[in-house]
Structure 1
Amino acid sequence: MTYQKILHYVQSQGFFSEHGNVLIAVSGGVDSMNLLHFLHIHQKELGIVIAIAHINHKQRPESDNEEAYLKKWAFDHQVAFYSQSFTGKFSEKTARDFRYAFFKRIMEEQNISALVTAHHAEDQAETVFLRLLRGARLRHLGGMKEVQSFGKGELIRPFLTFDKSQLPSVFHFEDDSNQETTFLRNRIRNTYFPQLKEENPQFSKQLLSLGKETDFLLEAFQQLTANLDCRDCQVFHSQKPAVQYFLLQDYLSQFSDLNLSKAQFEEVLHILRTKDHYNHLLKNGYYITKTKERFTISKISPETDSHENEKMLEYGNIVSFGQYRFSFRDQDSQGIPLFSQSPLLLRHRRPGDRIQLGNYSKKLRRLFIDDKIPPQERQNALIAEQDGEIVAICLSGRTYLRKEFKDGIMKGKLCIQKVKEG
């Protein structure tokens, strides 16, 4: 097959209608070299300007020669060329993460809105099988998308519906490591698929069909439930358990970096079904907050850049910190009794903070959960610390105080006043 059929398909799908500058991920293998030649030949018809991005993985003696060839090809054809050598401990995942971080950086630096990769139908079938093998959820069996968001632009896979056998023969480099059985994807491609195709010659096509049908099913579910506000607890509880299950999955899919495990997902589902009030950290900075009426999941980002990190309050002085004014005075003043005249450190909350409450201490995290303090407000807690111990916590218009478990001689008092806004 010539590139003309692919060109007609790409134009009919409008893959590049919103893009002028595109970055092509080129390894030097037959797939990516086909992609490079295709996009280079048809730049004018597609209305694009191409650039090449290449990662030298430094895993084979030929790697430097391949990079040099691509660099010369780009120079001869007046195409921008960007490359970087892989660093770190090599694995399939680390190499992939390294590549895509590099691609994203180049796109941002060079104002390029699209990354293009050479994934084809056989790659898609392998991806579906790999995810099935690893126990992925149904929604992830749909495989790769032809177009998806990436960085501030899009990742486009124009070959995804075409078989590798349909691509022309072009000059490329052979990577002997593709035959090794060290990596799972190689075993799938070179061992498992050939054996399974002996049982069913259409095995790859059946996997692609499974992925497509999965996409259709999820799309249908989304359309049928589009008018349901799943965060409304009354609406959520009125649904059948199966509908609740997929409603929650749909809601969680918008948080790409949350990545709940199956066990964590089941725990959240149980909370929504059984708890009236709940505030808790999930993972990766995400909190779930639930009342009788509504639940939400949100990411709480540290605001240290917009806060003063800390201040020191000496005996006899007054310091403003956040929305509060702290004064450290003698024992005849009004305020919180202190049993030392050591300076007070005024700071923000830190992981692992504890406060003494008589004959026991409690972590601030547990204290706030027990008192149903919303996650957004917990981040704004201000701490007064003396001699390495927390003596007071200010947040949400309330003050938590250390409770002494033994007698002491009072040496001063801490007065805390909230500063009126405006």
Structure 2
Amino acid sequence: MTPAQLKFLKIVTKEKYFAENSKILLALSGGKDSMTLFNWLYELRAKLHIELGIAHINHGLRPESDFEEQALRKMASDLEIPIFVDRFTGEFTEQKAREFRYHFFEKIMIAENYDVLLTAHHQGDVVETVLMRQITGRPLRSLQGIADCQPFAKGQLIRPLLKFTKEELDAAVFYEDSTNQGVDYFRNRIRNQLIPELTKENPQFSQAISDLSSEIKMALTVINQKISELEIVDEKISYHKFISQTKELQHFILQAFFAQYPEIKVSKKKFEEILHIIRRPQQYSAQLNKDFQFVKTKDYFYIEKRQLITASLEILSENPNDASFMEVYLPLEGQLEIRKRQPGDQILINGHHKKLRKFFIDNHVPLQARENPLIFVEKKLYAIVGVACSDLSKELKNDKIRRILWVKPSIGEEINDARKKS
């Protein structure tokens, strides 16, 4: 047993990555990293009491891709190891390829009852990932590097090589991806340009980044323990409890809150904007992506599935003697327009023109009511249905020449769930 293989066995045993009789699915690209991990697992399978299978994606980006797929199929057949293969389709991007891979791995794990998915990420991948996240402005929480173990499918995703450098990986037979040497993709530019230049300045640069990532992880562990003691992070967070914490702790509470929603990517700029909004007393609602929106009321803030609100309007020209209807006085002549609010809309209230946004805030108008229809005559606002009439409407109350409408909003709600369509 080689020193590196012995180190691997000690780590796997100490961390208790595999239960006895675990079914292990290895993501095998054919590169040196994953081939090393395959060799070690295959040789130690009896000692570890595991059942091993491999999953391979043919990305079809290089002429050699089909040859490598066939070579891996033959190796698996010769060693009597199950192999599952799929081919990437569509326009290639790093993100799309990653999503394709993990969707395939999840499908195989569920269909074939695998307990654990293994990937061959090593220390070099940690350094690249931390630098990529820092360059793209990700928050401190994301600079912890790559988790060695996390839930996946119906089991676990484990990365047992994170404490290994590239130099410790010893596969004699592997298939080098020539695209890894280029600079077409962001990660390749980090790997082939940035890290070598920084290593010239500090030969221990990669180790320093790895150590920094570990220290950030320890610091955040302490912070998360404090947040856990507050029992504040939930589906909804109390505004009053949140605002009573120090600003520094508020920052990390909000990070922990967003960590509950890994499908939502929030830039550093957007994060700071939301934090600023939470600290203000006003209500707020904004779309985060096509599926989710952020909502802040006077008591809570939370994230909910995006809703498309369609507001129709019941309009009567005779008094229904129903208190749920608003009575609106309008000029007898003039073009009538009913629409949703737009930026810059104003209302005349108590002799003062106020922008609707400020009017809503000052009068604590609920978020849903802020989307109620507006009634204009000749582009002058006479009423916010269900909320308020302007001075223009009130001044017509005693006029003999006027129109009266009795109106109320009728709200229909449709959930826009993209997942239901897929």
For normalisation by structure 1, the TM-score amounts to 0.71
CA gap 1:44/1:399 in 2 versus in 1, 3 angstroms: farther
Q: Please report how far the alpha carbon of residue 18 of structure 1 lies from its aligned counterpart in structure 2 after TM superposition.
A: 8.0
Distance 2:59 2:118 in 1: 19
CA gap 1:159/1:79 in 2 versus in 1, 3 angstroms: same
Deviates more, 1:89-98 or 1:227-236: 227-236
Letter in structure 2 aligned against 1:260: V
Asked if structure 2 preserves the Cα contact closer than 8 Å seen for 1:26 and 1:32, the reply is: yes
Coordinate RMSD, CA, aligned:
4.2
CA gap 1:2/1:287 in 2 versus in 1, 3 angstroms: closer
Counterpart for residue 324 of structure 1:
none
CA gap 1:188/1:19 in 2 versus in 1, 3 angstroms: farther
Asked if structure 2 preserves the Cα contact closer than 8 Å seen for 1:24 and 1:117, the reply is: yes
CA gap 1:19/1:266 in 2 versus in 1, 3 angstroms: farther
CA gap 1:184/1:263 in 2 versus in 1, 3 angstroms: closer
CA gap 1:38/1:64 in 2 versus in 1, 3 angstroms: same
Letter in structure 1 aligned against 2:263: D
Letter in structure 2 aligned against 1:288: V
2:337 paired residue among 346, 354, 359: 359
1:238 paired residue among 238, 244, 258: 244
1:283 paired residue among 266, 285, 288: 288
- Matched residues, number: 354
> For 1:286, what is the secondary structure of its paired residue?
strand
> For 2:229, what is the secondary structure of its paired residue?
coil
Per-residue CA deviation, residues 210-267 of structure 1 (Å, 9 max, x unaligned), is: 1001111111111123222442333322222222112211222111112222232222
Distance 1:104 1:242 in 2: 38
Q: Please report how far the alpha carbon of residue 7 of structure 1 lies from its aligned counterpart in structure 2 after TM superposition.
A: 0.8
2:198 paired residue among 196, 200, 208: 196
Q: Please report how far the alpha carbon of residue 63 of structure 1 lies from its aligned counterpart in structure 2 after TM superposition.
A: 0.7
> For 1:296, what is the secondary structure of its paired residue?
strand
1:260 paired residue among 254, 262, 266: 266
Asked if structure 2 preserves the Cα contact closer than 8 Å seen for 1:121 and 1:161, the reply is: yes
> For 2:25, what is the secondary structure of its paired residue?
strand
What residue ranges of structure 1 are gaps of 5+ in the alignment? 304-330, 337-356, 382-397, 401-406, 409-415, 417-422
Asked if structure 1 preserves the Cα contact closer than 8 Å seen for 2:238 and 2:301, the reply is: no
Q: Please report how far the alpha carbon of residue 186 of structure 1 lies from its aligned counterpart in structure 2 after TM superposition.
A: 2.0
1:111 paired residue among 93, 110, 113: 113
Asked if structure 2 preserves the Cα contact closer than 8 Å seen for 1:28 and 1:173, the reply is: yes
Asked if structure 2 preserves the Cα contact closer than 8 Å seen for 1:228 and 1:235, the reply is: no
Distance 2:55 2:164 in 1: 23
> For 2:107, what is the secondary structure of its paired residue?
helix
CA gap 1:19/1:246 in 2 versus in 1, 3 angstroms: farther
Asked if structure 2 preserves the Cα contact closer than 8 Å seen for 1:229 and 1:235, the reply is: no
> For 1:53, what is the secondary structure of its paired residue?
strand
> For 1:360, what is the secondary structure of its paired residue?
strand
Distance 1:91 1:234 in 2: 43
> For 1:149, what is the secondary structure of its paired residue?
strand
CA gap 1:225/1:91 in 2 versus in 1, 3 angstroms: closer
CA gap 1:89/1:18 in 2 versus in 1, 3 angstroms: farther
Distance 2:138 2:20 in 1: 33
Q: Please report how far the alpha carbon of residue 201 of structure 1 lies from its aligned counterpart in structure 2 after TM superposition.
A: 0.8
Q: Please report how far the alpha carbon of residue 279 of structure 1 lies from its aligned counterpart in structure 2 after TM superposition.
A: 4.7
CA gap 1:248/1:31 in 2 versus in 1, 3 angstroms: same
> For 2:170, what is the secondary structure of its paired residue?
coil
> For 2:228, what is the secondary structure of its paired residue?
coil
Within 5 A, what are the aligned runs for 1:326-337? none
Within 5 A, what are the aligned runs for 1:48-59? 48-59=50-61
Counterpart for residue 25 of structure 2:
23
Counterpart for residue 144 of structure 1:
146
1:298 paired residue among 303, 306, 310: 303
> For 1:54, what is the secondary structure of its paired residue?
strand
Distance 2:187 2:221 in 1: 28
Counterpart for residue 181 of structure 1:
183
Asked if structure 1 preserves the Cα contact closer than 8 Å seen for 2:105 and 2:117, the reply is: yes
Counterpart for residue 270 of structure 1:
276
CA gap 1:106/1:334 in 2 versus in 1, 3 angstroms: farther
Per-residue CA deviation, residues 317-366 of structure 1 (Å, 9 max, x unaligned), is: xxxxxxxxxxxxxx9x9999xxxxxxxxxxxxxxxxxxxx95331269x9
Distance 1:209 1:198 in 2: 18
Within 5 A, what are the aligned runs for 1:6-405? 6-17=8-19, 20-230=22-232, 231-273=237-279, 275-276=280-281, 278-284=283-289, 285-291=292-298, 294-300=299-305, 359-362=337-340
Per-residue CA deviation, residues 136-160 of structure 1 (Å, 9 max, x unaligned), is: 2211111101112223332110011
Letter in structure 2 aligned against 1:70: L
Determine what percentage of the aligned residue pairs are the same residue. Answer: 36
Distance 1:9 1:60 in 2: 35
CA gap 1:277/1:186 in 2 versus in 1, 3 angstroms: closer
Stretches of 4+ moved more than 3 A in 1? 333-336, 369-375
